[in-house]
Amino acid sequence: MTNSIDNDRVVIFDTTLRDGEQSPGATMTHEEKLEIAELLDDMGVDIIEAGFPIASEGDFRAVAEIAKRSKDAVICGLARAQLPDIDRCWEAVKNAAQPRIHTFIGTSPLHRAIPNLNQDEMAERIHQTVTHARNLCDNVQWSPMDATRTEWDYLARVVEIAIKAGATTINIPDTVGYTAPVESADLIRRLIAEVPGAEDVVFATHCHNDLGMATANSLAAVAGGARQIECTINGLGERAGNTALEEVVMALKVRGDIMPWHTRVDSTKIMHISRRVATVSGFAVQFNKAIVGKNAFAHESGIHQDGMLKNAETFEIMRPEDVGLTESNLVMGKHSGRAALRDKLNQLGFEVGDNQLKDIFVRFKELADRKKEVYDEDIVALMRLGEDPENDRLQIVSMKVVCGTGGPAEATVEMEIDGKDVSATAQGDGPVDATFKAVRELHPNTANLQLYQVHAVTEGTDAQATVSVRLEEDGMIATGQSANTDTVVASAKAYVNALNRLLVRREKTGPGSDAREISYKDVS
C-alpha cells in the first residue's frame, strides 16, 4: 500500500489482536482471535495486525489462520529487526490475499542501549532487515520504536534508510505516550518535507495514551500528513492503552468540517465489536468512555433532559444509531419467544444458529424468571464463546453461603471434578473469600489471584453481575468471566473457569510455556 491511496482517506490499522492483547491479562483464545479478526474485516478496517508470530506457537497459528480467512483487510504480522523473526512472520501471513510484514527496532538512545548498538550498527541492521522483508513481501511497514524520543537527525537518517530498503509504510510510534498534538503534527510534517523518498510512502502514527492524548496526537499527525492511524478497539493496550479506533473514526466523521478526511469503517458496527472485545478480553469499558461507554448517550441533568426532549442535537453531536446502539432497550421479558430473542440478538449484532439459539433461550428464560426486566446489556451478557462447559474438568454443582456481621463467612461448595462429586466447607473474610477457599480445598492449586473485578450489567438490585477473575500460575495467565444475578455465584464460576483454562494449558504445553492466549468466558 503506497501513496496510490486517496489522499483524503485515512487508513485504519487495527492492532487489538497484537498491541491490545499485550495488556496484562487481556488474553484471548484462538477462536476469540478469529472472531474478532472477522468482525474487524467486516466493519471495514483496512489493516489487521493479527499478532506477533514468533512470540509463541499459539500466536503463529492465530495469525496464519486469520490470514487464510481474510477477505478485504490486509493481514499484518509483527517482527523484530531479526531475520528469523521476519521469516516466521512471512510464514504466518503469506497466505493472506493481502499480506504485510511489520518490522521494528527501538531507535531512541534508551532503546539503542538495549541491544548495545551504536547509531551506525543500528542503521546497518535496519537496512539489512527491511531489505530482507521486502524481498519476501511487497508490502512492508517499518517502525522506529520510541520515535518521539529519538534525536531528529538520527530519526531522519533511519527513516531514509528504511525507505531506500523498500519499506512502503513508515510508522512513527509514540511508544510511551510522550508527545503532544502540536509536536506530533510537526514531526510528521517535517519528515515528509525533509526525508528523501518520503513522497513515495505512507506515513503512519501509533500513539499510546500515557498522558491521555493518544487520540489527539493521532489526529494531529493526520493533519501533519500521516494517512494511517494505528489503533485498538476500546483503546485496549499496554499501560494506559492505545489510540481508540472508535474515537478517531467518529471524530473524523463528526468533525469533517475541520478534519476533511474519511475512513472506510462502518461506524454502525462499532458498539457490537466494542462489547465483544470487552467480553473476550475481560476488560470492561468504563461508563464514561467516549463513544462506547454506557453513559456516552445517557442524560441525567434536568437541563440536558429538557434539551434532549426538544431537540436531541442540543446535547448529542452524534446519533446513538451511528455507532450501532439500538434505541429500544427494554423490550424482552419472560413471555418473549425464540423469534423475539433471535430478532433482538440480530439487532445487537449477533447471528446465531438454531442450536446456539436453543441454548441461549434456555438461559434467557432462567434469567427472565429471576429479573423483572431484561435489558439489552443482560442479553449481551448471556452470549458466550468458547468450549462447552460440560467438557470442563471442574464444574460447580451447588453452593451454599452463610455470611453476616456475627462472624466469618462460611461457604459450602459441591463440585464435579473429572466426573466425581466432591464437596467442601470453608470459612473466609467474606462470602467470596470463603467460596474461593472451598474451591481450593477441592482443587488444590498455587494460582495467584491477579484480578477480581465485579461489574453490574444493568441497574437495580436484581442486576446481573459480571465478574472477571485473572489467575497466574507458573508463568501462565488465565482469565475467567461469568455473569449471574448472584454475585457470589458469578464469582465462583469465573474462578473455576479460569482454573479450567490453566488445566487445559498445562495439559497442552506444560509449565513455563507462553500463555498469552489463555482466556475463558462463561455466562449463566
Residue 403 burial (C-beta neighbours within 10 Å; 0-12, 13-18, 19+): middle
- With cell 490499522, the residue in question is 13
In this structure, what DSSP letter does residue 464 have? P
Q: Provide the pLDDT for residue 199.
A: 96
* Spatial CA neighbour of 515 closest among 110, 28, 14, 2: 28
CB 510 within 8 A of CB 468: no
CATH homologous superfamily of 11-281: Aldolase class I (3.20.20.70)
Instruction: Name 63's Cβ contacts closer than 8 Å, sequence gap at least 6.
Output: 50, 51, 53, 75, 77, 89, 92, 93
Give the number of other Cβ atoms within 10 Å of residue 248's Cβ.
Answer: 28
Phi/psi of residue 242, nearest 5 degrees: -110, 175
* Intervals of the chain under pLDDT 50: 1-4, 299-309, 315, 328-330, 385-388, 511-524
Q: Provide the pLDDT for residue 294.
A: 77
For residue 429, the one-letter residue type is D
Q: What share of the chain is helix, strand, coil (3-state, %, to 5)?
A: 45, 20, 35
CATH fold of 389-521, please?
Answer: Double Stranded RNA Binding Domain (3.30.160)
SS3 174: strand
Residue 515 cell numbers, joined:
500463555
**pLDDT tens, residue by residue, 380-406:** 777 754 444 556 899 999 999 999 887
Strands in 436-475 per DSSP E: 448-456, 465-473
> Starting at the edge strand that comes first in sequence, how are the strands of the sheet with 420-428 ordered?
394-402, 409-417, 420-428
DSSP per residue over 471-494, as a string? EEETTEEEEEEEEESSHHHHHHHH
Distance CA 391, CA 352 (A): 21
**Max Cα distance, the chain (Å):** 76
In this structure, what DSSP letter does residue 238 have? S
* Spatial CA neighbour of 10 closest among 190, 231, 177, 178: 231
Q: Provide the pLDDT for residue 517.
A: 41
Whole-angstrom CA distances from 97 to 36, 39, 71 are 18, 17, 7
* Spatial CA neighbour of 442 closest among 477, 473, 413: 413
Q: 253: number of CA atoms within 13 Å, CB side? A: 18
CB 93 within 8 A of CB 139: no
Distance from CA of residue 459 to its chain's centroid? Answer: 26
Instruction: Name 109's Cβ contacts closer than 8 Å, sequence gap at least 6.
Output: 149, 150, 151
Give the number of other Cβ atoms within 10 Å of residue 427's Cβ.
Answer: 14
Sign of the torsion formed by the C-alpha atoms of 149, 151, 152 and 155: negative
Q: Indicate the annotated binding residues for Mn(2+).
A: 19, 206, 208, 242
For residue 57, the one-letter residue type is E
* Spatial CA neighbour of 232 closest among 69, 417, 18: 18
For residue 304, the one-letter residue type is H
Residue 233 cell numbers, joined:
478497539
Residue 226 burial (C-beta neighbours within 10 Å; 0-12, 13-18, 19+): buried
* Spatial CA neighbour of 90 closest among 48, 128, 136: 136
Sign of the torsion formed by the C-alpha atoms of 342, 496, 467 and 242: negative
Give residue limits of the domains in the chain. 11-281, 297-325, 326-383, 389-521
Distance from CA of residue 398 to its chain's centroid? Answer: 33
- CA dihedral defined by 50, 55, 59, 65, rounded to 10 degrees? 70
Whole-angstrom CA distances from 327 to 249, 251, 323, 330, 376 are 21, 22, 11, 10, 10
Instruction: Name 6's Cβ contacts closer than 8 Å, sequence gap at least 6.
Output: none
Question: Whole-structure pTM over 0.85, yes or no?
Answer: no
